[in-house]
Structure 1
Amino acid sequence: MNGEARQAVDMFLEYMRGEKWASCHTVANYGRDLARLQKFCSDSRLSEWRFLQNADIRLYVADRHKSGIAAKSIRRELAAIRSFFGFLLKKQLVEQNPALAVRAPKVGKKLPKTLDVDQVAGMLNAGTDSVLEIRDLAMFELFYSSGLRLSELAMLDVADLSLSDGYLRIRHGKGGKQRQVPVGSKAIKAIQLWLACRPECASPALFVSARGARLGQRGIQQRLDRWCRKNGLSERIHPHMLRHSFASHLLESSQDIRAVQELLGHADVSTTQIYTHLDFQHLSDVYDKAHPRARRSKRE
C-alpha cells in the first residue's frame, strides 16, 4: 500500500490513544490487526483504503479462518477493521465502511471451570503458618466472597473497605466502572486478621508484599499456586476459578441472574447467562448418574 495508507493507520492508532483513551494493549492489538490487513491489500494490489470493497473484507476473513485462526481472534480483528474504517469515514478518506456487513465465524461458548462447594471449603479452611499466609487467605476468601476479578482485587485499597457495613467499593472495574459488593462474614474475619498484622507502609494497597509494596496480579497468582501445592490440591486453580465458583454457586442457590450480573459487574446479562448453562450441565451430570433409565452400561 502507498505511504498515505500507512499514514492513515498511524493517525488512527494515535486517535485511539489520545482521544479514545484505549489501553496500550488494545492499541498494540489494533496495530497488528491492521498490519495484517495492509499485507493482504498489498498482496491483492490494493494501494489505497478507498479501494477496499465488502467482498475484499469477506475474502480476508475467509483466509484468516482457513489459516486456523480462532473465531474469537477473527471477531476482534474485524472489530478493529470496522473501527478503523469508521475513523476514515469521519476524516472523509473513504466513502464507505466495507467491514460493516461482514460476519465473523461464530464463537462457541466455553464453559468456565468451577470448584464445588466442598472443594472451596477445603481450600479456604486450611490453616495459616505465617503473616503472608494470613494475607493470602484473606485474598482468597475475598475472591470467593465477592466474586472479584483478579485486576480488581490487586487494585483494592484499605480505604475501599467498609467492614462494619459489610461491603467494599470497587473503583477499578472493567471499563472503568465502579460498583459496591457485599463481603461475607468469613472474608471479613480473614481481612480483619490480615489488617491486624499488615506491615506499616506508605502504600494505600489492601494487599501488600513483605516489603510494603502493592501485590500485583502475577504475585497473587503465584501465591495461589503455592497455597494449593502446600495444601495438597491436585487440580491447578487460577484466580478466576474462584470468581466463576462464586457466580455458579450464587446463581444455583438464588436463581436471580440480574443480581449475579450486578455483583459480577457484567455490562450485559448475556455474559452472566453462561453460568445458567453451567448450572444445567451440573444438573445433567446428576441426572445421568442418578436416574435408573439414564445410566449407561459399561459395555456401551
Structure 2
Amino acid sequence: MAEKRVYKRYFTKEKKAKINPKSSKAYEKYLKSNIIKNKDVKDTTYKVYKNYFEQFLVFLSEQCDNIYILDDEFLEEAVDIMEGFIGFCQETLGNNKKVINTKISAVSTYYVWAVKRGIIEVHPFDKKLDRMKGANDEKLINHYFLTQEEIDFVTKELHEDYAKEKGRKYDIQDLLIWHIMIDSGNRNGAISKLTWSSLDMESMVFEDIREKRGKIVEVVFEEETAELLEKWKEIRKGMDNLECDGIFIVKRDGEYRKMSQTSIYMRVRKIGHILGLPDLHPHCLRKTAGNRVAEETGDLTVAQEFLNHSDVSTTSKHYIKPKSKKEIREKLRKLKEDKRKKKEDN
C-alpha cells in the first residue's frame, strides 16, 4: 500500500511574523482602498491576493534581506527580484504556471495602484518581466546556460555586425554589455552602475560598484573588453555635451543619461535573437559565467566567490548546469581511462 503523501506548511506564523512591517502596512493601505471600492470580492479575489502577496513578502524576508516594497533599491532591481520569486515558486513551492501567473498578478496589481495614487512614478516591472502576454496565458522565464560554442558564435556575430559600414543591428554598447556580462558574471544592477570614474583600466576592473542589497563588488573584464572600452572612450569624445560618467548611456530630451537596467535588459534580449533565443535575459549570462568558472576550476567555492554569493548552496542549486546522463557517462569513462593509464605508468 502506497504511503500517504505528507504536505508540509511552508508559510508558517513564524515566517510571516518576520515580514517587514513597513511592507505589510503599505499593502494594507492598498487593500483597504480597494475593498472600499469593491466589497463584493473582499472574501474571494482580495483574500487570495492577500495570501499570495504575503507569500511574496516572506520570500523578500528570506531571500532579499526583507527589503521594503517601496524602497528605491527594490524599484531598481524589481525585474531581477521578480525573476527570483518566479524561480522560488517553481523550485521551492512546486507551483504550476496558472498559480504562478496569479501570484505575479497579485504583486503587480499593488504597483498599478501605487502608480495611480502617485506613490511611485512608474510600475517597476510591468512590460519588463517576461511572464505573460494575456491574463490567462503566462510564459514562465526560461533560464539558459550558454555553451562556449554559443558564446563564441554570438561574440563573432556581434563583432562582424559592428564592422559593417551600414546596416548595423548592434552598436558598441551592445558589444560592451555582452563582453562585460560574460567576463564578470555580475548582476544587471551592477552593470547599469558602471562609471568611468570607477574604472581601473590597468587592473581591468571596475571598483566599488554597489550591487544587490548595497553590497560593494568588483566588476572584472578581459583584454578584448578593455580594447572596446578604449574605443568607446574615443567615440564619446566626439559626442556633443556628453558629461555623463556612466559607461552605458542613452540620450533623452537632448541630454545624455545613464542607461537603465531595463534598457540593458532589452539589449540582451535583442542579442538573444542571434541564437534564436528571444527570451535571453541578463541572468542567463550571469548563470553562464558562474557555471563556466565552476567547470574550469572544478571548485564550487571559487564560483561562489566569483558570483558574490554568501552561501555556496545558492551557487550549487541555481548556477551550475545539471549534467545530462550522456555527460555523466563520458565523465565516468574519462575517469576510468585516466585510472587505467595511471596504473600502467606505475
Please list, as runs of the form range in 1=range in 2, the aligned pairs for 1:212-223 lying within 5 A after superposition.
212-223=256-267
1:274 corresponds in structure 2 to: 317
| Larger CA Rg, structure 1 vs 2 | 1
2:179 corresponds in structure 1 to: 141
Please list, as runs of the form range in 1=range in 2, the aligned pairs for 1:55-94 lying within 5 A after superposition.
69=52, 73=56, 75-76=58-59
What letter is aligned with 1:286?
E
Return the offset for 1:224.
Answer: 2.3
Q: 1:74 to 1:134 in 2, by over 3 A?
A: closer
1:116 corresponds in structure 2 to: 147
Q: 1:228 to 1:113 in 2, by over 3 A?
A: closer
1:184 aligns with 2:222: yes
SS of equivalent to 2:56: helix
1:163 corresponds in structure 2 to: 201
Q: Tell which has more relative contact order, 1 or 2 (C-alpha 8 A, sep 6+).
A: 1
SS of equivalent to 2:197: helix
SS of equivalent to 2:257: coil
Return the offset for 1:136.
Answer: 1.1
Match of 2:270 among 226, 233, 256: 226
Q: 1:290 to 1:261 in 2, by over 3 A?
A: closer
Return the offset for 1:266.
Answer: 1.6
Return the offset for 1:237.
Answer: 0.9
Q: 1:77 to 1:264 in 2, by over 3 A?
A: closer
2:302 corresponds in structure 1 to: 259
TM-score, length basis structure 2: 0.52
1:242 corresponds in structure 2 to: 285
Q: 1:30 to 1:124 in 2, by over 3 A?
A: farther
Q: 1:258 to 1:248 in 2, by over 3 A?
A: same
Find the aligned partners of 1:254 and 1:195 in 2 and give their Cα distance: 34
Aligned-residue CA RMSD (Å): 4.0
Asked if structure 1 preserves the Cα contact closer than 8 Å seen for 2:142 and 2:279, the reply is: no
TM-score, length basis structure 1: 0.59
Asked if structure 1 preserves the Cα contact closer than 8 Å seen for 2:210 and 2:216, the reply is: yes
Find the aligned partners of 2:52 and 2:147 in 1 and give their Cα distance: 34
Between Structure 1 and Structure 2, which shows a larger proportion of strand residues? 2
1:154 corresponds in structure 2 to: 192
Return the offset for 1:225.
Answer: 2.5
SS of equivalent to 1:252: helix
Aligned residue pairs: how many?
216
Structure 2 gap ranges (5+): 1-19, 32-46, 67-88, 95-140, 334-346
